[in-house]
Amino acid sequence: MNIELPLDCELTAKAIRTFIKDYMDRIGIKKAVVGLSGGIDSTVTAYLAVEVFGKENLLGLIMPSNANTKLDTEHGLLVAKNLNIRYKVIPIQDMVDAFEKNVGVNEIDKVSRGNIMARCRMILLYFWANLERAVVLGTSDKTELLLGYFTKYGDGGSDIMVNASLYKTQVKKMGAYLGVPQAIIDKPPTAGLWKGQTAEGEIGITYEIIDNILYHLLELRYLPGQVINECGMNPSDVEKVLKMIRNSEHKRHTPIYPKIGYREINWDYRYPVERS
């Protein structure tokens, strides 16, 4: 009962690039930094962005840890070389180890360690962004954002997000349209936070099914029962997806605070980010 999510790649790529270009023109910054994990999201981000920034103004950071495979790094390098952009390989394991040694607990679980990794990468991206007067490109796709499958202030920390309006299966489709190497499109998506981690393995549902559930719930406004009865989705899959969306709502917002005054930020003090 799965449908292929519709996507006009040509026009959507044009729209996303126009968004990047107009925003950069508006804020007067010409450069960007992007983390290249070797996965489909960061690859498509780089492929879309390079046309706007130009190869000399896009810096790719490849930041492997012990949890990454050699293939991840190779794919990151392949993207940098295919696009002919500047890149740096900065291994992060020493930094992660140093954090782990000093956080004040003896045993650290893999999720907490994974979050340290993601946040180390964020620090490096912002270091280079500061140095180069650049923006940090966020690479998360809509599926990950909705499921909360990202680290708050880790890979969730960026200045502009390029793929955020594309579901995972659409990112793959866009990747094929943009000429992304097939090996990168075909390999199973992973957050790369521990060895052998795959997103689908961890969530327990394929991206094709997740995207179909999300697409029907969000875009077509089906009720959960309708997704089960009319689309033939597994009730436990739908429940799991719903739970992940609800539990991660905080990750998609700026921090909440008490509204005391007449004019509080983002409540009654409402300015566009393109203000200057």
Partner 1 sequence: MTRLKIGLAQIAPKLGAVKQNLDKHLEIIENAKNKKVDLLIFPELSLCGYYAKDMYYEILPKVKNAIDTICKNCGNLTIILGIIEENKRIRGVLHNSAVVIENGKVVGTTQKVYLPDYGMFEDMKYFKPGNKIKVFKTRKCILGIAICEDFWHPEVVHAIALKGAEIAVLISASPFMSREIGEMLNKIRAIENTIFIAYVNNAGAQEGIVFWGGSEIVSPNGNVLVKANYVEEDFKVCEIDLNDIPRVRAGMPILRDARKAILEELLKAHGELNEY
Binding partner 1 (rule: CB under 8 A), the pick from 11, 105, 256, 260 is 11
- Is residue 221 part of the contact set for partner 1 (CB under 8 A)? no
How far is residue 160 from each of residues 45, 59, 77, 165, 200, measured CA to CA in Å? 11, 15, 23, 12, 26
Q: How far is the CB of 258 from partner 1 (least distance, A)?
A: 21
Residue span binding partner 1 (CB under 8 A) among the ranges 11-19, 31-39, 76-84, 99-107: 11-19
CA angle 263, 265, 266 (to 5 degrees): 110
- Told to check if 270 binds partner 1 by CB under 8 A, we report yes
Nearer to partner 1, 10 or 107 (CB): 10
By CB under 8 A, tell whether 253 contacts partner 1: no
**DSSP SS3 for 65:** coil
Residue 272 as a binder of partner 1 (CB under 8 A): the answer is yes
Buried-state track 202-224, b at ≥16 Cβ within 10 A, e below 16: ebebebbbbbbbbbbbeeeebeb
- The kind and range of the H/E element at 122 are helix 110-132
Applying the rule CB under 8 A, the residues between 149 and 208 that interact with partner 1 are none
| 273 near partner 1 (CB under 8 A) | yes
Angle ∠(180,186,188) on CA atoms, nearest 5: 125
Give the range of 7-15, 92-100, 139-147, 175-183 binding partner 1 by CB under 8 A: 7-15
Question: Could you tell me which residues come within 8 angstroms of residue 56 by beta carbon, excluding any fewer than 6 positions away?
Answer: 85, 86
Q: What is the DSSP letter of 165?
A: T
Task: Tell me if 269 contacts partner 1 by CB under 8 A.
Answer: yes
What does the per-residue mask of binding to partner 1 show for 22-51, with x meaning CB under 8 A?
xx-xx-------------------------
Please, what is the minimum distance in Å from the beta carbon of residue 89 to partner 1?
32
Residue span binding partner 1 (CB under 8 A) among the ranges 12-20, 46-54, 67-75, 173-181? 12-20
19 binds partner 1 (CB under 8 A): yes
Residues 6+ apart with CB under 8 A from 242: 217, 224
Using alpha carbons, select from 31, 1, 46 the residue that is nearest to residue 174.
46
Among 3, 14, 81, 265, binds partner 1 (CB under 8 A): 14
Query: Which residue's CB is nearer to partner 1, number 141 or number 237?
Result: 141
Report the alpha-carbon angle 208-41-207, nearest 5: 10
Q: Which is nearer to partner 1, 22 or 202 (CB)?
A: 22
- What minimum distance in Å lies between the beta carbon of 149 and partner 1? 22
DSSP helix/strand/coil, 247: helix
Residues interacting with partner 1, by CB under 8 A? 11, 14-16, 18-19, 21-23, 25-26, 269-275
